A and B are shown apart, each in its own frame.
Chain A
């Protein structure tokens, strides 16, 4: 079974600064995938970034990067140059080694960007 832990219920960041959202995971699978989703106040779930356990490099997508430390079982999301529109809930999730398996989610971190 997989487990995701997000220890920061809420975070504040100044506009244009970088921020790191923490995510640790637990799994006995050798192959797995880690995801980050953004949920703005409008409620939709927006896919941000994916990291496979065997990917050689940390994933990046525009201002989002994933700091993947396999030995520590952490997959932190880094948002560079924060914008007011980044204020939202952020969820870390993972899937197991069977390909299209369902995701297991953490409880989320609410990020507030301050002007």
Chain B
């Protein structure tokens, strides 16, 4: 059963801690994306990767980092430099011709 899996679904973090959100896909898609969703703000692009070992900053990359060592995996690290990290994070892969297929999301809360 092909899909895109994000974990954990819920995560709590103390201020000053780095956290890593996992995103794994078995769809054989080349391109993968990370979006942040805040109430009333839509989805904003954090980072994207169109191919293994390559990635580009999106509109709100400050305080975040990513890696793309394998085609299937695109983890996102929320660093302590991110001023307001509490949000819903969505990972997506490109199904083809621009269409994005999203994971179920990870909700990060900073205590």
- State whether these chains interact: no
Binding site for B on A (CB under 8 A): none
